[in-house]
Chain A
Amino acid sequence: IAGITQAPTSQILAAGRRMTLRCTQDMRHNAMYWYRQDLGLGLRLIHYSNTAGTTGKGEVPDGYSVSRANTDDFPLTLASAVPSQTSVYFCASSSGQNYGYTFGSGTRLTVV
């Protein structure tokens, strides 16, 4: 089934540890995105990539980094996790800026 695969589904992480959230899509979409969703704050964009080899910062990029080595993969790395990064993280992709996004099922991350 075409779509986005995120891993892990959930994770409890000690503060200060490094963590990479994985995201893979099989739709050959050019654009990919990472959002975090928090109660009362909604979905906020962390980083995006319009095409392989390029990335950009969203609304809340601090403490996160991304890479886009190929079309299918868009990993999100937390270099040194802090409790405020506790959230649900969604990866999404789109065939163009004005087209609907396809979202993954999310990664629930708890930093303790």
Chain B
Amino acid sequence: EDQVTQSPEALRLQEGESSSLNCSYTVSGLRGLFWYRQDPGKGPEFLFTLYSAGEEKEKERLKATLTKKESFLHITAPKPEDSATYLCAVPAGNKLTFGGGTRVLVKP
């Protein structure tokens, strides 16, 4: 069965303290891995798609990387506005299967 697991469940950071979020997956025939950001009371917002091992994507303070078994979302020198829940997902059949998310809180 296709599975996506994210860790940690929650992360508290001081402003400027870099860290990484993990997304591990088991899926037959990876057809992409997606990262989303979700703010409280809002729908998930698309960040990145990664298609092959070794691929990297960057957006501001965020960088996503992909290996054959997992993906990392690196947050470099985070700011309070980076506080959100970060979700990863993989296509599985006719849907995206989502991980449980990592809640990130960046304190000033």
Give which listed residue, B34, B95, B101, contacts A42 with CB less than 8 A: B101
Give which listed residue, B45, B95, B99, contacts A103 with CB less than 8 A: B45
Assess whether A56 is interfacial by the CB under 8 Å rule.
yes
- Size range of the interface on A? 20 to 34
Closest chain B CB from A56 CB (angstroms): 6
Collect the chain B residues with CB atoms within 8 Å of residue A4's CB: 43
Collect the chain B residues with CB atoms within 8 Å of residue A103's CB: 36, 43-45
- Size range of the interface on B? 20 to 34
Closest chain B CB from A34 CB (angstroms): 11
Contact B49 A99, beta carbon cutoff 8 Å: yes
Give which listed residue, B31, B45, B101, contacts A98 with CB less than 8 A: B31
Docked CA distance A59–B95 (Å) = 10
Q: Given contacts A42-B99, A42-B100, A42-B101, is CB(A106)–CB(B42) below 8 Å?
A: yes
Collect the chain B residues with CB atoms within 8 Å of residue A79's CB: none
Q: Given contacts A42-B100, A90-B43, is CB(A100)–CB(B49) below 8 Å?
A: yes
Residue pairs across A and B with Cβ atoms less than 8 A apart, 29 shown, are: A4-B43, A40-B100, A42-B87, A42-B98, A42-B99, A43-B98, A45-B95, A48-B94, A48-B95, A50-B94, A58-B94, A58-B95, A59-B95, A92-B43, A98-B31, A98-B32, A99-B49, A100-B34, A100-B49, A101-B34, A101-B44, A102-B46, A103-B36, A103-B43, A104-B43, A105-B42, A106-B41, A106-B42, A106-B43
Using CB atoms and an 8 Å cutoff, list the residues of chain B in contact with chain A. Answer: 31-32, 34, 36, 41-46, 49, 87, 89, 91, 94-96, 98-101
Q: Identify 4 new A-B residue pairs, CB closer than 8 A, beyond the known A33-B96, A90-B43.
A: A42-B100, A43-B44, A58-B94, A98-B32
